[in-house]
Chains A and B, each alone.
Chain A
Amino acid sequence: MLTRRTDLQLERDALGRFLPWQIAFMVYLAALALAGAMVLNATMARWNKGISGVLTVQIAPLEENAQKEKKRIKAALEVLGSTPGVIHAESIGDDEIMALLEPWLGSLGVAGDLPLPHLIDVELEDGANLDMADLSRRLEAAAPGASIDDHRIWLKKLIRLMETVKGLAVLVVALVCLVTVGTVAFTTRTGLAIHQDAIEVLHHIGAQDSYIAKQFASRVLVLGLKGGGFGLAMAVASLLGVGSLASRMETGVLPAISLSALHWAALIALPLAVAMVAMLTARMTVTRSLNKMM
């Protein structure tokens, strides 16, 4: 596809001056959008896997007596154990609860004088469709102050939000491709106008349309790869910078900004894909224009 020698002086026209920069910006934006979509996708998958099959039962501390509190927890565990669809139910110890709270409360909470609720971690069968209202009533009857925290309700909302954001990111990538096609088509037409005389000479001495189109396409491919490579390098630098900043936050609020090998492969393929799209666009634009000549 690449030809070293060209009969047209393409390196000095608008194609050579502007196209690499335009493609660099497009690839930069697309790479960020694609990386964002991939991070969101991975985070959603992690959250979905980690939360969809579990729920938490919370029992408010009512009794001063530790024995009575244990009886309430045991009663709640018995109710859960007899409920179809529940695979496993286990009380979370106070130490574990304190460890979970430590990032927010610091070591102050370790004093043990905070009225912390008792928590029961419940693991459900895949696709279990529990009657939450009935379970809630039975738990309340067995252990007054017990309530169910069903993660699936807020998880569904969160996933819907993330899917919307992911959809927007994919839309950005698609728009970038469309804009690239438009930009290349416009720039190529400008190039055709600039080289009209030379193209006519080639045409009159018997050059096939493909011979002329190949020269433009090869040039655009090289420019696309240059611009795309630069855009990708900038995007990788930005992603590494954001990842580094996020890792210093020391908080569980932000999803982990890390990309797998497959994700990196997709990002590296992006400038190649954009360069190919640009090359095909140039080839089609030239061929369509030449078709108007006899």
Chain B
Amino acid sequence: MDGGGYVVRFENVGLRYGLGPEVLQDISFSLTPGSFNFLLGPSGAGKSSLLKLMYLAMKPSRGLITLFGHDIAITGRRDLPALRRRIGVVFQDFRLLPHLSAFDNVALPLRVAGVKENEVRKHVEELLCWVGLKNHLDSRPPTMSGGQQQRVAIARAVIARPRLLLADEPTGNVDDHMALRLMHLFEELNKLGAAIVIATHNESLVERLGHRCIRLENGQLETETVTPSVSRLDSENAA
């Protein structure tokens, strides 16, 4: 991998919407493969904007972004979909397609990537069972609870085994037990080498899991704390 082996690398990145003020200023950090990161900060700090830059929804106003070794500023538009397929995103508002079943929503990344339908069926059913939605394969999002929709959104984000998983408040609508279960899913993906970034307000969850924290304050990277990277989930689950 180019770019020093980083999955994500930001150098002096700034972002402004239109002619407005910069919502992100001089952001510099990097993520290595297999790193587990929490993105913390109050509402309006710029967490969602930072995630948008990482999942290639926008270009920065200034600075350098490198994803999987590709400088985004010079990467051709035709090459971006292939990069996006290596990124899984859990949106805060889920962004499920309401007319598709839970199965079809989760299957989307595989179908977009051209995976054969029998493979799609096998993997999607397995994952939906894992997130506790075995009996909701054919349910449409509007008929599901917030927590169920969130699990569908997470399943969609991880189904294609992304190399970078970005999640915006992924446990906001589920109970503590399901939150830990979903975190375990992220950790499993992380063990397979994926870099994980979870934007959250849930400080207690961050303390329990103990991973690197990137803290944003007023559009600036305030602190970067690295806590012991060994998850306590396994020991908790074992107990």
Contacts and interface: CB of A to CB of B under 8 A. Distances in A.
Interface in B95-149: 95, 97, 99-100, 104, 108-109, 111-113
B59 interface: yes
A289 to B, nearest CB: 14
Contact of B89 (A197, A198, A204): A204
B95 A7 contact: no
Interface string B47-72: 00000000111110000000000000
Interface string A196-231: 011011111111100100000000000000000000
A7 B100 contact: yes
B230 to A, nearest CB: 31
B77 A202 contact: no
A294 interface: yes
Given A206-B109, A211-B112, A294-B57, A7 B97 contact: yes
Contact of A206 (B59, B77, B97, B113): B113
A197 to B, nearest CB: 7
B152 to A, nearest CB: 12
Interface string B203-237: 00000000000000000000000000000000000
Contacts of B82: 206
Interface residues of B, number: 27
B85 interface: yes
A53 to B, nearest CB: 63
Interface residues of A, number: 16
Nearest to B110: A205
Which residue of A7, A202, A211 has the most chain B CB atoms within 10 A of its CB atom? A7
A260 interface: no
B84 interface: yes
B5 interface: no
A205 B77 contact: no
A204 B97 contact: no
A62 to B, nearest CB: 90
B44 interface: no
Contacts of B95: 197, 200-201
Given A205-B89, A206-B109, 6 more contacts: A201-B97, A202-B108, A204-B56, A205-B108, A208-B78, A294-B77
